[in-house]
Amino acid sequence: MAGEKTVETTGLLGWIDRRFPLTSLFKEHMSEYYAPKNFNFWYFFGSLALLVLVLQIVTGIFLVMNYKPDAKLAFDSVEYIMREVPWGWLIRYMHSTGASMFFVVVYLHMLRGLFYGSYRKPRELVWIFGVAIFLCLMGEAFFGYLLPWGQMSYWGAQVIVNLFSAIPFIGPELSVWIRGDYVVSDATLNRFFAFHVIAIPLVLIGLVVAHIIALHEVGSNNPDGVEIKQGPKDRNGHPVDGIPFHPYYSVHDIVGVAGFLIVFAAIVFFGPEMGGYFLEYNNFIPADSLKTPPHIAPVWYFTPFYSMLRATTADFTWVLTGAAVLAAIGTLIKSSQKGVWRLALPVILLVVAILLRVIDAKFWGVVAMGGAVVILFFLPWLDHSPVKSIRYRPTWHKYFYAIFIVNFLVLGYLGTQAPNATFNLMSQIGTVIYLGFFFLMPLWSRLGTFKPVPDRITFHPH
């Protein structure tokens, strides 16, 4: 940059710098990475997610030292860690609590992105990497959930893996291939252990690095949705509306870390089971392939998507068929395309309507559950709002977001409960609201009166 001086480091640091770009990496991603001045508490959760990732890796390493990935020994090895290994109970509870807290901070991190349009141009790739991290995290949690070899671990894995058998043609063989056996067994435990300990963590770390590099390439978003790189610059070429990440935000994030650790420690020491949401009662009972628990449900962070799976019954597919037909008619009438493109989307929707009647409802439940996550990848192209931040959108847009959040929480609660007719109807309504929020976003996101976005960020020193 103009006006800057390059200072050559000496001593040990200089020796390293001549062989590895340590100082330049620190400057590029910390001390000379300029972030917007107006970050608020929503921006704590990205660094907290990184903290929990490190915590999970470190505690996981210590757990693996004493854990036995063997169907006959797994449960007893966990009990050995809890009762005999010095401080083993603390490591185990830190790891189990960390799994839930990881999803808490990641859900809040994604919610912040939704509020402030952090997925919009030029950050599409940052968002895609983030959703890929979320998918890997779900896989990591699922594979790790089997390892304690308790009742809920065993039967939860049995139910989830059996879902793959609903895929037409290849389903039954695929589910056997995933398990490595016809039922969840020692072979399943070994391959889940390998994925949980080695394969997915490597992919997860790579995606986190890619996520951060992509973020620092285009710059951080902010609550106003204003691009500080396109704003005025100082004589050194730095954004006037930005400040160096280090030391300002590296110190600022310590406040968030302190608050998080207080909550984390309170859970670990006073309520690691969290009333059965973090650690279920049935998981303190050894796995028994001859005794099915009365109610099988996944851990709380999967339950919103599990509700969508259970909601997709044979009767509900009639509702989806009708919606697909009406959407086909509507797009045919409203389409501005000409020629064959005018018929493309209606034809696709009609084919979906036919398939809904031909293929078993169980398969469509799997599609709904998986599609609820996969659709997040397309969010940058579904949002057609002229502004990024929720601050400058119409007030009724905020109500849409509020309904979406409450609906997601309700779906999460319903997924923990034993199914009945009332809860099933509520889950079906919740599934329609969740999917409708995204599928109709190209329409509702551009409607209403938008407030003018300032040329520069709004910042009030404190």
Q: What is the DSSP string of 243-285?
A: EEIIIIIHHHHHHHHHHHHHHHHHHHHH-TTGGGTSS-GGGGS
Token output for 78: 């966990």
Sign of dihedral through CA atoms 278, 282, 287, 292? Answer: negative
Residue numbering of the annotated binding site for a ubiquinone: 216
Binding positions are: 95, 109, 196, 211, 216
- Is the Cβ–Cβ distance between 193 and 187 less than 8 Å? no
Query: What residues are designated binding site for heme b?
Result: 95, 109, 196, 211
Secondary structure of residue 293 in the 3-state scheme: coil
Cα separation of 106 and 134, whole Å?
8
Beta strands in 21-141 (DSSP E): 34-36
Q: Cβ atoms within 10 A of the Cβ of 86, count?
A: 7
CA angle 6, 38, 29 (to 5 degrees): 30
Question: Phi and psi for 19 in degrees, rounded to 5?
Answer: -120, -20
DSSP category for residue 15: H
Nearest-5° angle of CA 184, CA 189, CA 193? 150
Does residue 134 contact residue 376 with C-beta atoms inside 8 Å? Answer: yes
Instruction: Count the neighbouring beta carbons within 10 Å of the beta carbon of residue 272.
Output: 17
Q: Which amino acid is at 389?
A: S
Which of these, 137, 138, 157, lies nearest to 147 by C-alpha position?
Answer: 157
Pairing between β-strand 34-36 and β-strand 242-244 as defined by DSSP bridges: antiparallel
- Cα 13 from Cα 16, distance rounded (Å): 5
